A and B are shown apart, each in its own frame.
Chain A
Amino acid sequence: QVQLQQSGPGLVKPSQTLSLTCAISGDSVSSISATWHWIRQSPSRGLEWLGRTYYRSKWSIDYAVSVKRRIAINPDTSKNQFSLQLNSVTPEDTAVYYCARVNRGERHFEYWGQGTLVTVSS
């Protein structure tokens, strides 16, 4: 059974960087059978896919156009986890952030992290 455990601060100041981590158990971030995603949900923007990372013969990363200039998703094989960094945050980035797993060749999110409410405020 795959489990995703999120961690990171719940409060970030405007213009600073939001950083979250998703620790994986029951699978490997390097698995060629999975892709690893970040999603957020806010009252104003609804559910929004942010990006993903996955390993085949090399690491690949895809980002949503809406955040492409500010986002970084990185795998950490030594800790079997992946991270989200969102730069230059504004109150509009206040949301519940989720990590999630998708099986290779599929497009539904089978496993989700517990969610982290991140508030952007001074």
Chain B
Amino acid sequence: QSVLTQPPSVSGAPGQRVTISCTGSSSNIGAGYGVHWYQHLPGTAPKLLIYDNNNRPSGVPDRFSGSKSGTSASLAITGLQAEDEADYFCQSYDSSLSCWVFGGGTKLTVL
């Protein structure tokens, strides 16, 4: 039911690289609106990880990176650490709906 589509779960071993995809449409990601990524731990406020496709706020490790192509975007996490285990969701803006839209979230498990 989410406007942006993410895989429900991904996993990786410590030190590995994982990617999380976010697929939208021509009225949101494909229309040129930026994609933003958040890390969300249960019971806490979501934390901005990546904004405008590939920019990191200060304090976010460079192990986190974002990319965008066409109607999709990806979040990559390298050098996986146990503390990275969390939910991750993408967000953009939709011009047809005239509202902010989100992905359904992806649970990252560090094996």
Q: Please report the total number of B residues contacting A with Cβ < 8 Å.
A: 28
Given A107-B33, A107-B36, A107-B93, answer yes or no on A112-B46 (Cβ-Cβ < 8 Å). Answer: yes
**Which chain B positions have C-beta within 8 A of A64?**
99
Which one of B47, B89, B100 has the greatest number of beta carbons of chain A within 10 Å?
Answer: B100
Query: Would you give the shortest CB distance from A56 to chain B, in whole angstroms?
Result: 18
Within 8 A of A (CB), among B1-32: 1-2
Cβ-Cβ contact count across A and B, 8 Å cutoff: 60
Asked, given contacts A107-B34, A107-B93, whether A49 binds B48 with beta carbons under 8 Å apart, the answer is no
Q: Is the Cβ of A109 less than 8 Å from the Cβ of B91?
A: yes
A113 to B102, CA, bound (A): 17
Chain A 51-91 interface 0/1 with B at a Cβ cutoff of 8 Å (1 = within) = 00000000000101100000000000000000000000000
The answer to whether A47 touches B48, judged by C-beta atoms less than 8 angstroms apart, is: no
Q: Which one of B44, B51, B89, B97 contacts A114 once the chains associate, using CB atoms below 8 Å? A: B44
Q: Is the interface on chain A under 10, 10 to 19, 20 to 34, or 35 or more residues?
A: 20 to 34
State how many angstroms separate the Cβ of B87 from the closest Cβ of chain A.
Answer: 10
Question: What 1/0 flags go to B87-111 for Cβ under 8 Å of A?
Answer: 0010111000111111111000000
Please report which residues of chain A, range 99-113, place their CB below 8 angstroms from some CB of chain B when the two chains form the complex: 106-110, 112-113
A26 in contact (CB, < 8 A): no
Distance in angstroms from A16 CB to nearest chain B CB is 26
Considering residues B34, B48, B104, which has the most beta carbons from chain A within 10 angstroms of its beta carbon? B48
Across the A-B interface, the 3 shortest Cβ-Cβ residue pairs = A47-B102, A112-B45, A108-B36
Which A residues are closer than 8 A to B by beta carbons?
37, 39, 44-49, 62, 64-65, 98, 106-110, 112-115
